[in-house]
Structure 1
Amino acid sequence: MKKIHIVNGIILAFSVILVRYIDVHVYDMHIIINLLVLVALIVGGMKLAERFPALDDNVSRKTGTIINTIVVLTIFIAFFVLEL
């Protein structure tokens, strides 16, 4: 598994958390605007991550699984703590 895949997963997760937080606690956005902002954040973050050549390296399967598990747990914890 390459580091870029892990970073893309992290970008996806935290973009969803950020947009949902803004939608619930800051400004009630229409669903279309919500999706457009989410897509823009995800695509922008992934394009930015592609610029770093160090992310083309491989990581072990165990490390990838641990990081992915932490990201998923962070999503669940954020949704419960922030009441999203």
Structure 2
Amino acid sequence: MKRIHIVNGIILAFSVILVRYIDVHVYDMHIILNLLVLVGLIVGGMKIAERFPALDYDVSRKTGMIINTIVVLTIFLAFFVLELG
């Protein structure tokens, strides 16, 4: 598994958390605007991440699974702690 795949997963997760937080606590957005902002953040973050050549290297399967597990747990914890559900 390459580092870029892990970074893309992290970008996706934190974009969802950020947009949901803004939608719930800051400004009640329409669903279309919500999706457009989410897609913009994800695509923009992935385009920025592609510019770093250090992310082309592989990581071990164990390290990839640990990081992916931490990202998923962070999503669940963020939704409960920030009351986004």
RMSD value, Cα? 0.1
CA-to-aligned-CA distance 1:22-51 (integer Å, 9 cap, x gap)? 000000000000000000000000000000
Distance 2:21 2:40 in 1: 16
Distance 2:75 2:12 in 1: 10
- Give the corresponding residue for 2:58: 58
Runs of 5+ unmatched residues, structure 1: none
Distance 2:75 2:50 in 1: 23
CA-to-aligned-CA distance 1:46-80 (integer Å, 9 cap, x gap)? 00000000000000000000000000000000000
Distance 1:54 1:75 in 2: 26
> Deviation above 3 Å: which 4+ runs of structure 1?
none
Q: How many residues align?
A: 84
Runs of 5+ unmatched residues, structure 2: none
Identical residues among aligned pairs (%): 90
Distance 1:77 1:38 in 2: 20
Distance 1:40 1:77 in 2: 24
